[in-house]
């Protein structure tokens, strides 16, 4: 445990306490650490590597540096950080980045929304949980890359406990808050269809996927285990008469639901960009974590 008055310690002379930005959910940043400090030249942000638990005053070291050390080099985790010790306090130092959507007026075009999902999926696969609403940023000073920020409450839970689902629901919440509701809804539907494929006898009265539930196109037990990646054809119904995608099964969708899907494509592998572009498919779901 660390002393409570550590919250007031700055990295040094000339550093300014940064004003907390508001996240997409309306909550301020920095609630756990007390907030970052801006370097005298404005080029770097120094964030404390200690924080307090909700409702408490005691301060504890965070696991942010350990998490980043394990994940650096993967998409969403550029090598643009270091750890410094100043005034008996440990700091995570990064370039002063632009936040999305807080600074969207200073950014050109939309961000790579899928990066948030891919980065958190990789994080969960490594056994870490982000444990907060995702924070997306753009490093315009050093790497020119988009990245995830703020791992102050990331931790490694008991990964294999049966009720651990990683950060999937937080991704959907973030999609909803930044105006990507169609992506959130597509993931929710994809998850439902995936469960129906895996456990058809335990599905509810939904019509999806029609072929599996009505046994017109039953999948073998091996196919149910292997066809775990779902894509959606939202422009037209897919047919094996003209579309050939190795390792896939086409399943009819309920076109009355939104977003409208004509055909679900269950695949035993992640499809490459060429195939996705050729048939104008949208990625729908993969099992988490």
pLDDT tens figures, 70-112: 999 999 999 999 999 999 999 999 999 999 999 999 998 899 9
* Ranges of each domain in the chain: 4-149, 200-285
169 within 8 A of 175, measured Cβ to Cβ = no
Predicted pLDDT of residue 97: 97
- Please check the confidence at residue 7 and state whether its pLDDT lies above 50: yes
Predicted pLDDT of residue 157: 83
Label each residue of the chain as H, E or C.
CECHHHHHCCCCCCCEECCCCECCCCCECCCCCCCCEECCCCCEEEEECEEECCCCCCEEECCHHHHHHHHECECCCCCCCEEEEECCEEEEEEECCEEECCCHHHCCCCCCHHHHHHHHHHHHHCCCECCCCCEEEEECCCCCEEEEECCCCCECCCCCCCCCCCCHHHHHHHHHHCCCHHHHHHHHHHHHHHHHHHCHHHCCCCCCCHHHHCCCCCCCHHHHHHCCEEEEECCCCCCCCCCCCCCEEEEECCCCCCCCCCEEEEECCCCCHHHHHHHCEEEEECCCC
- Please check the confidence at residue 200 and state whether its pLDDT lies above 70: no
Predicted pLDDT of residue 196: 82
Give 159's pLDDT tier (boundaries 50, 70, 90): low
Higher pLDDT, residue 83 or 26: 83
Q: Which of 27, 21, 71, 68 is nearest to 49 (CA)?
A: 68
How far is the C-alpha of 169 from the C-alpha of 230, rounded, in Å?
A: 18
Predicted pLDDT of residue 137: 97
Tell me the C-alpha to C-alpha distance, in Å, between residue 233 and each of 211, 223, 224, 262, 279: 16, 20, 20, 6, 8
Exposure on the CB side of residue 209, measured as CA atoms within 13 A: 31
Predicted pLDDT of residue 215: 46
Higher pLDDT, residue 31 or 236: 236
Output the pTM of the full model.
Answer: 0.89
Predicted pLDDT of residue 218: 55
Predicted pLDDT of residue 216: 46
How far is the C-alpha of 134 from the C-alpha of 123, rounded, in Å?
A: 12
How far is the C-alpha of 120 from the C-alpha of 166, rounded, in Å?
A: 8
Predicted pLDDT of residue 88: 92
- Interval 154-177 mean pLDDT: 84
Look at 142-146, 161-165, 244-248 and tell me which has the smallest mean pLDDT: 161-165
């Amino acid at each position: 445990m660390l002393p409570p008055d550590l919250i007031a310690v700055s990295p040094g002379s000339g550093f300014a306490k940064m004003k907390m930005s508001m996240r997409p959910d309306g909550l301020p940043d920095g609630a756990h650490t007390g907030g970052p400090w801006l370097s005298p030249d404005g080029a770097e942000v120094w964030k404390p590597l200690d924080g307090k638990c909700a409702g408490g005053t005691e301060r504890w070291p965070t696991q942010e540096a350990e998490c980043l050390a394990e994940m650096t080099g993967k998409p969403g985790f550029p090598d643009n950080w270091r750890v410094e010790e100043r005034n008996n306090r440990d700091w995570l130092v990064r370039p002063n980045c632009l936040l999305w959507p807080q600074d969207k007026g200073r950014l050109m075009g939309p961000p790579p929304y899928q990066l948030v999902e891919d980065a958190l999926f990789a994080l969960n696969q490594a056994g870490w949980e982000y444990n907060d609403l995702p924070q997306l940023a753009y490093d315009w000073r050093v790497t020119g890359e988009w990245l995830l920020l703020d791992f102050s409450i990331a931790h490694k839970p008991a990964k294999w406990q049966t009720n651990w689902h990683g950060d999937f629901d937080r991704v959907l919440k973030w999609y909803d808050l930044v105006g990507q509701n169609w992506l959130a809804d597509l993931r929710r539907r994809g998850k439902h269809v995936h469960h129906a494929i895996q456990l058809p006898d335990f599905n509810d009265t939904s019509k999806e996927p029609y072929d599996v539930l009505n046994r017109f196109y039953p999948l073998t037990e091996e196919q149910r285990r292997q066809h775990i990646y779902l894509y959606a054809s939202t422009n037209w119904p897919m047919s094996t008469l003209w579309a050939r995608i190795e390792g896939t099964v086409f399943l009819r969708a309920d076109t009355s639901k939104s977003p409208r899907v004509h055909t679900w494509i269950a695949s035993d592998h992640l499809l490459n960009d060429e195939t996705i572009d050729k048939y104008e498919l949208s990625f729908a779901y993969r099992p988490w974590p």
